[in-house]
Amino acid sequence: RERAEARGRDLDAGQCREQFIRPLLRDVLGFHMGQGDERVFPLWASEGDEPAGKTPLLLIYCGNWDEDLSAGRAGSPVMLIEKAIAARGLRHGLLATGERLRLIRAAGDGPKGACLEADLAGLAEETSPVSFGLVLRLFHVLCFVPGASGRAPIEEIEEESRKHAEKVSEDLKEAVFKAAEELVAALLAALPETERDLKLSRDAALIALYRILFILYAEARDRRLQEHRLYQDAYSVEGLVRQLFDEPTRAWAANS
């Protein structure tokens, strides 16, 4: 509701913070935003934690409604919040605008530039509750409160994420080698015996394979491709594979 009321206004950082970011943090994500300076503010689990002198869970940078969080270099919002959380000895920081909510780790803790970002504009238009539920779980205050083990849920999520990424990397490497072998074998089988060249076939197979991987990555990440019905039906890798299975005897054009 707060976003709908503030959307479309030319809000500066202070207005965006008070009219949208603070209500979002308080009413949806469960944080208490304390007193800050410039655009950086501490976040606690409850209002009483601030006067009690407890260490904040994390810090947040509050930007303009549509501010580019990655703009600039030394004075960029990311650099500013990284410096602030390092000074406090904290592990995480948030950056918020009217369009985005981004979670970062302390500099040196994980890959450089790694972050978890929620597209608030897209989330407001999302009809499925699944995306909202994921954002709520990952950015909610309870995700940053240490449990009985002394670790916050966000730390356990990050650990599982790293393990999953390592497994995906290993699986992808194995799949790439297997696919390359099959492509080389197919190319060699299609060539006359006098024209078979293992090196040329290997190079051609790798070029074809990485082009396919590039396309698959684009199709998985680019919403324009996902929502383009003609592309999905006639040009996407999934659409072409579906056609191959549905019409195995189809005669394809030479340029297909």
The model's pLDDT over 106-153, given as tens digits with 9 standing for 90+, comes to 887 777 778 889 888 888 776 678 888 888 899 999 999 998 888 999
pTM exceeds 0.95 for this model: no
Structural contact between residues 75 and 54, judged by C-beta atoms closer than 8 angstroms: no
pLDDT at 58: 94
> Which parts of the chain sit beneath pLDDT 70?
1-10, 71-74, 126-127
Phi, psi of 75 (to 5 degrees): -100, 20
Question: 3-state DSSP call for residue 40?
Answer: strand
Cα torsion at 44, 47, 51, 57 (round to 10°)?
-10
